[in-house]
Amino acid sequence: MTSHIFDGILRKISDAPPTHYTVKIQSVSLLTKKSVEKYESGDFEAGGHKWKLVFYPNGNKNRNVKEHISLYLVRSGSNALQVSSEVYAVFRLFLLDQNNGNYTVFQEKERCFHGLKPEWGFDQFLSHKVFNEASNGFLIDDNCVFGAEVFVSKESMTGKGECLSMVKDPVMYKNIWRIDNFSKLVGESYDSKVFTAGDQKWKMQLYPKGKGNGIGTHLALYLALAEPKSLPPGCKIYAESTLRLLDQVNGRHQFGKANHWFSASNSEWGWWRFITLGFLNQASMGLVSKDTCIVEAEVTVHGITSAL
C-alpha cells in the first residue's frame, strides 16, 4: 500500500478491495439530474454491528460543501440512535481507480459512533475536478465504485437519556361521541370509538355512575391513550385536552380542560367528579336529551418525549 495526495488529503493506494462492502453506482450523472441529494447503501455487518455508506454526489449541502463529493460511514440498525450505545471503530473508505484496478483509500482515526453522532466520514472526500477527470479512473462511463472496511475496537453502554420534540405548529383535533339509550347504561364504564390526534390513538372513557370517590354521586369523564402498551419504552406525550358534555337545549356546555403527560404507565387523565348526577339528569339542563348524551373531545399534542 503506497501513499498519495489528492486535494491536500493524504490517501493510500491499495491493490486489495474492501473486505466488508462495495457499492457500484451506474449513471452517476443521473443522480444530479433527478435531484437525488444523497444515496444511502443497504446495511452491511462488520464487527457485530450494522453500517451503511452515504454518498453525496454534489457534496453535503447541510455542511456547505461545494465542488466536492462527500462520503460517510453511518452506523445503522436498531441500536444506532441510542445515546447509551457507543461503538468505537477505525474505518477505511475506498474509491476504485478503474484505469489501474486499484483503490484510493483514506483511513479515519478511531471514532465513537453513538445516537447523537451516528456518522463519520469526509465532507470533502474528493473534488469534482479530480473525481470527474477520466485519467484518474474514478468515474468511467459514468460509473464509480466505493467501498468500506470497519474495525470495531471497543463498545460500551452509558447512561440512558431522552429527547423531547416539541410540535412547532400543533393541530387541534375534535371528536364527538354520541351515546344513545343513556338511561339504560348498566356497565361501570364505556369507551368511545378510537380516534387519532397528533399521530396518537385516543379514546374517551365515561363512567355513568362515577368513579372512585365519585361513585353514586357524579359522572366521571376521561381522555385515554387507546393503545398505551404499543408506545416505545420511555415515550411520553404532552397533550392539551378539553372534554365537554354538550347541552343540547341551551348550549351551556359543561367542560373540563387540562394539560397532561400521557405514557404507558399513565395513560388516562380526567375527572372522577366531572358533574353531579342530579345536575346531569335535570331535563332543563339539556345534557341528556331524548335519552342521548353527547361528549366532545378536543386534543392537541404539543410534544413527545422518546428514549435515546
pLDDT tens-digit readout, 171-201: 999 999 999 999 999 999 999 999 999 999 9
Which residue type does 150 have? V
* Arithmetic mean of pLDDT, 120-128: 93
* Domain residue ranges in the chain: 2-157, 164-307
- Same fold? 2-157, 164-307: yes
Confidence label for 31 from pLDDT (cuts 50, 70 and 90) = confident
Q: Which fold has domain 2-157?
A: 2.60.210
d(CA 243, CA 270): 8
Helical (H) or strand (E) element with 129: helix 128-132
Of 115-124, 141-150, 152-161, the range with the lowest mean pLDDT is 152-161
Q: Are 56 and 69 in contact (CB under 8 A)?
A: yes
Q: Is the pLDDT of residue 138 over 60?
A: yes
* Arithmetic mean of pLDDT, 70-77: 94
pLDDT of residue 65: 95
d(CA 80, CA 86): 9
Cell of 134: 477520466
Nearest to 223 by CA among 241, 200, 238: 241
CATH architecture for residues 164-307 = Sandwich (2.60)
pLDDT of residue 83: 66
Q: Are 21 and 43 in contact (CB under 8 A)?
A: no
Q: Is the pLDDT of residue 8 over 50?
A: no
Cell of 121: 466520514
Q: Is the pLDDT of residue 164 over 90?
A: no
234 burial (CB, 10 Å; 0-12 / 13-18 / 19+) is middle
What average pLDDT is seen over the chain?
91
Q: Is the pLDDT of residue 245 over 90?
A: yes
Contacts 24+ apart (CB under 8 A), 129-137: 129/67, 130/6, 130/7, 131/69, 135/99, 136/97, 136/99, 137/96, 137/97, 137/98, 137/99, 137/100
pLDDT of residue 3: 56
Q: Are 4 and 91 in contact (CB under 8 A)?
A: no
Q: Is the pLDDT of residue 23 over 80?
A: yes
